[in-house]
Structure 1
Amino acid sequence: MNAVRLSRATRADAADLIAANRANQDYHLPWVASFTDQAGFDG
């Protein structure tokens, strides 16, 4: 079985998280409005 590891997001993760949020924005709206830029990640 594979292990799952959780950790806090860091600045190094920003680009991947922003890209994932942009790619899935239509799916999550109107329930969740995720950050889609660096300012939102930093916020």
Structure 2
Amino acid sequence: KRVRVKLERKRNEDEDSKEKMYTIVEHVMVDSYKGLVNECEANE
């Protein structure tokens, strides 16, 4: 099976945390996987 996900890196605002960043993972529904490619979005 295939799964399409969107990954978003965020800066951790909790000063007590060991990690500086964390990742939000979001499931993206698609009708077909045919012809899909990786895309990079610019950070704003």
More strand by share: 2
- The structure with the larger Rg is 2
Looking at secondary structure, tell me which structure has more helix per residue.
1
Same fold (TM over 0.5): no
Q: TM-score range by the shorter chain?
A: under 0.3
